[in-house]
Amino acid sequence: MPQSKPPHRDGSSPELFSGHTDRFGGITVVSSEEPCLSSQFDQKLEASLTAWKEKKVRGLWFKVALEDASWVPSLAKNEFVFHHAKPGYVMMCRWLPISELNNIPPFAHTMFGVGAIVVNSAQEILVVKEKYLPDFPHWKLPGGYVEPGENLADAALREVLEETGVKTEFEFLLTFRHMHGAMFGCSDCYFVVSLKPTSEEINMCPREIAACQWMKVDDYLNSPHTIETNKFFVKKYLECQKSGTGVTYESSVHPFLKRRVRPDDRATESDTRLISLPLNSSQCLTG
């Protein structure tokens, strides 16, 4: 008499996908954790869907590794849609409840960039011209996109050093611009910070930058090669310098996530950073 297959440790049948249950009543199946032959996938998925409906599971997620891409057509035929993708996997999802509004959140839709106002003791501002904007040769603030898991302040210091070779220290967050319809159809937040230079010798990155120099602040504000948005940022910087205001970072522990922003040796006992906003704070530009 053939022996029946033992149940999984969580009590589920080996003929069903197990997955990880989340706090919202959903389940995530990770293909690398639950291998399944393509020839057996349809049957296992159908049985799992029946069981999940009986258990009133809400959101279903399948994290399909690149090597398991053969799962994708079957998931699509069973009303799963693409949620997001990264180089090593695609995430597909389905909302099971018929009488309940789909509550699956959209994927990340906003990109973060940072620009730095770096002014030395001679009231000169550090400015650059991008290499890949030959038809629009304007002087701009050094900066770029914030990398995953990177703090705004760290991103600003890194970008200034990479583009100009100038070392800096973080002073305060000045203002930001929020716009829509940017790269990949995402919204875009561009944060402008004030950095204090600790060196002034320029060592320009020729791969990204066409020109770099220290320029008198007044000359920058009056230059025909400075766009109005950057003039706005610099004017706000001068106002903050005069009034002694700015937005600083303060350490804080997130009460729920308990998660480090920077899981490296530089990370302190704090998990996150809060922005402290003074009464006479700098303005924000939207568009």
pLDDT in tens, 20-47: 999 899 999 999 999 999 999 999 999 9
pLDDT at 14: 59
- Report long-range pairs for 242-247 (Cβ below 8 Å, ≥24 apart): 243/280, 245/278, 245/280, 245/281, 245/282, 246/171, 246/172, 246/173, 246/174, 246/194, 246/278, 246/281, 246/282, 247/172, 247/173, 247/174, 247/275, 247/276, 247/277, 247/278, 247/281, 247/282
- Mean pLDDT (whole number) for 110-122: 96
| pLDDT beyond 50 at 10 | no
- pLDDT tens track for 192-203: 999 999 999 999
Burial 110-149 (b: 16+ CB within 10 A, else e): eeebbbbbbbeeeebbbbbbbeeeeeeeebbbbbbebeee
> Which of 2-6, 86-90, 275-279 is most confident?
86-90
| pLDDT beyond 90 at 270 | no
- pLDDT band for position 182 (50/70/90)? confident
Q: Which percentage of the chain shows pLDDT scores above 70?
A: 82
pLDDT at 257: 64
| pLDDT beyond 60 at 2 | no
CB 160 within 8 A of CB 166: yes
How much is the pTM?
A: 0.73
The architecture that CATH gives domain 110-286 is: Alpha-Beta Complex (3.90)
Its CATH class, for the domain covering 20-95, is: alpha beta
| CA 113 to chain CA mean position, Å | 9
- pLDDT tens track for 218-253: 999 999 999 999 999 999 999 999 988 888 776 667
- pLDDT tens track for 129-152: 998 877 777 999 999 999 988 989
Beta strand ranges found along 7-138 (DSSP E) = 20-21, 27-30, 59-65, 81-86, 89-95, 110-118, 124-130
Whose CA is closest to 222, among 125, 128, 154?
A: 125
What ranges do the domains of the chain cover?
Answer: 20-95, 110-286
pLDDT at 239: 93
Is the sign of the CA dihedral 193, 256, 28, 19 positive or negative? positive
- pLDDT band for position 258 (50/70/90)? low
- Report the helix count and the strand count for the chain, using DSSP H and E: 5, 14
- pLDDT tens track for 48-96: 999 999 999 999 999 999 999 999 999 999 999 999 999 999 999 999 9
d(CA 177, CA 233): 10
Q: Give Cα separations from 204 to 84, 128, 220 (angstroms).
A: 36, 9, 19
Whose CA is closest to 112, among 263, 261, 226, 279?
A: 261
- pLDDT band for position 1 (50/70/90)? very low
